[in-house]
Structure 1
């Protein structure tokens, strides 16, 4: 459940990196010991028992490997089809289906209590940790303390470290058990400690909320979290559709909601070609690779996916995976040739748009909501299909200064 920034049009997924100048301004490890003593006092003042603070943090040292990983994060190109093909593999579909059948009773109880269906949970479970097989093995408390001491996001990670101590104090996990990725996520669904503290539940009746060793606890906690984010029981989340050759592409974006009847009237049909219900259900037409690529209707529950992970590529993949587990057919490859801008060209496009006065967000080659909006406006100006997807044709027009 990493905090990955929105990939927008599916050109890339971003994990933001600090500039070298900013990184150089951060203090080195020499002051970590004094900082840790001060943090321990603050933790006790926040209601954490001295015994838990001592047990969890005595001997914890600064971890340069965590800082190196934090500084080394970068943009990497992943189209939606590339990412979904890799993540929604035949093996993941087979294992996910088997787990749904094997644990049918548990999933039924969870859905009855929280309203979240099993395929949705298994979709996240498979993508986050390969069903609990790959949870990371770094010392969580050491990672969090290092990041809380660091100058980049001290407030964020100080709160995460405090909540990790609260999880320990509640009896859910011991300090030694808290291991995971370098950024401090924990358990089979990679919860950050603040989410663990707020949403973890004891579903197997063991007396503690163990999201590392207990799959029932982990699954129910994920459902509790999704419920807390606004999941609507009995409602869809994502549906693959077919789009006509021509329509008002400017309305196709995850940020734009229309009644389903609007899309039906525009010629959008179900994947099978049957008409969509002409009702008022709010939905967005999402074209992660433009009008020639795969097409989806995203419903209100898909907004919950985007709260779980801001990356549109990740969220669409997780949602699509869940639809497959629920019985949907394999994804269509689209209906035409898809031209994708390489990352450097996508960044150049953003730079040109910014010079023309558009707010494109961070200029990093990642096409998020602000960039898509700017692209649509320029596509309309140049008489191009305004689907918000960056293409070589649009870049050429912008470079020509038309």
Structure 2
């Protein structure tokens, strides 16, 4: 699995692109139009930013529009599978076994990474596994073509144009081969799927060869991931996710990422850890991926880093839970969640909620943060347990 979905989700949070974008302090660049002229103008911007004409030519001379990239961009979607189904599918015995083996194999670089950036090995290892199966599946799209295609396209040029400039800088440094470097359709590169700008800023030489090569070097990938995760806000020495049990008389309206209490306050309400100890002084949100009858977790401040990495709630909860498993936590208690909605039913629910005045975003069948918040409020209004899990019963009541 590559970072296609996570990058798509981060892009979705940005404003819709305008046709004109700032290309330099003194000029403006139009997206679209003749592709070769577009590349010529981009070369001049790269030179104005201090990069060499030779590096720009090496990078851009063979670039072409990739129609498959455009098709992927327009067809992208965030996971619609519920948490239990998705987590069971991606947290396999193979990934658990190989995760443990890689943490042992690269123990020295993991130790260095935690010392320098505060990010523990299980957190990086879980991303490494979910993104590329420890480097086995890194994507086969030519990186320069993917970035040039999306920068030239007029949907989000302000997001992709800087990545193409950064790719030129990577070529100048000797860390990207324009003809041979491949990755995900949206331009992410390497074992942990980082974008060129992030590689420029947070790429680290973990193996001491003078280069940052995230496709081939596990040491570079691990150290770079640690630097990037720290940049996203990771808090050293703190937990990220903890499975708990919750009493059935809890006020479910107080759950969800928008609500936080200290660990001690949750404990006073009867929330108990399934393993370890609740961090009494840290703020935490009680999250219920499939409602009050399914698994329950306390999400601590470090969980917000997962949401910075990928805004899909199912993906982030799975990645965070996977990291706890690699750190020694037991398999979750599945519980007995109420049946959810089909794709058609979810769209019907979103339509009803939108007609009631709720902001659920696009009617897409995805249980995103807006839909969850609307579901919780609607449940409260109807006197139903407000656990934000949409069910056929709720749909019928509406």
Q: CA deviation at 1:321?
A: 0.9
- Structure 1, unmatched stretches of 5+, are 7-13, 17-26
Say which SS state the counterpart of residue 9 (structure 2) adopts: coil
Trace 1:186-197 onto structure 2 (pairs within 5 A): 186-197=189-200
Q: Which residue of 1 aligns with 2:22?
A: none
Q: How does 1:52-91 map to 2 (within 5 A)?
A: 52-74=55-77, 77-91=80-94
Distance 1:28 1:216, change over 3 A: closer
* Cα distance in 2 between the residues matched to 1:182 and 1:164: 15
Counterpart Cα distance in 2 of 1:394 and 1:87: 30
User: What does residue 305 of structure 1 align with?
Assistant: 306
Deviates more, 1:68-77 or 1:127-136: 68-77
In structure 1, what is the equivalent of residue 126 of structure 2?
A: 123
1:34 aligns with 2:16: no
- Structure 2 distance, partners of 1:126, 1:284, is 26
User: Relative to 1, partners in 2 of residues 1:311 and 1:260: Cα closer, same or farther, differing over 3 Å?
Assistant: same
Is 1:4–1:311's contact at 8 Å kept on the other side of the alignment? no
Partner of 1:21: none
Q: Give the superposition deviation at 1:108.
A: 1.1
Residues in 1 aligned to 2:329 and 2:270: alpha-carbon distance in whole angstroms: 21
Structure number with the bigger relative contact order (C-alpha 8 A, sep ≥ 6) is 1
CA distance in 2, matches of 1:346, 1:28: 36
1:360–1:96 CA distance, 2 compared to 1 (3 A): same
Q: Note the aligned Cα RMSD (angstroms).
A: 2.2
Structure 1 counterpart of 2:102: 99
Is the alpha carbon distance of 1:112 and 1:29 closer, same or farther for their aligned partners in structure 2, counting shifts above 3 Å?
Answer: closer
Cα separation, 2, equivalents of 1:324 and 1:317: 10
Aligned to 2:23: none
Q: How many residues align?
A: 379
Question: Is the contact made by 2:372 and 2:388 (CA closer than 8 Å) also made in structure 1?
Answer: yes
Displacement after TM superposition at 1:75 (Å):
5.5
Indicate the residue corresponding to 1:10 in structure 2.
none
> What is the CA distance between 1:183 and its match in structure 2?
1.1
Alpha-carbon offset, residue 71 of structure 1: 2.0
Shift of 1:275: 7.6
CA contact (8 A) 1:77 1:342 kept: no
> Which residue number corresponds to residue 322 of structure 1?
323
The Cα of 1:45 is off from its aligned counterpart by 1.8
Q: What does residue 11 of structure 1 align with? A: none
TM superposition shift of 1:124: 0.5
Q: Normalised by the size of structure 2, how large is the TM-score? A: 0.90
8 A Cα contact 1:211 1:218, kept in partner:
yes
CA distance in 1, matches of 2:156, 2:337: 42
TM-score by length of 1: 0.89
Match of 1:135 in 2: 138
The question of whether the paired residues in 2 share the 8 Å contact of 1:210 and 1:217 is answered with yes
Classify 1:185/1:275 alpha carbon distance in 2 versus 1 (closer, same or farther; 3 Å): closer
Which residue of 263, 266, 271 corresponds with 2:266? 263
8 Å Cα contact 1:252/1:284 also seen in 2: yes
For the structure 1 residues 189 and 276, does the alpha-carbon distance in structure 2 shift closer, same or farther, using more than 3 Å as the test? closer
Q: Is 2:171 aligned against 1:168?
A: yes
2:294 is matched with 293
Deviations 1:98-121 (A, max 9, x none): 111122122111111111111111
* 8 Å CA contact 1:239, 1:296 repeated in 2: yes
**C-alpha distance in structure 2 between counterparts of 1:177 and 1:4, whole Å:** 24
1:201 to 1:177, Cα distance in 2 relative to 1, 3 A: farther
Whole-Å separation in 2 of the counterparts to 1:346 and 1:275: 37
- State the partner residue of 2:16: none
Which residue of 1 is the match for residue 355 of structure 2?
355
Aligned partners of 2:79 and 2:366 also within 8 Å: no
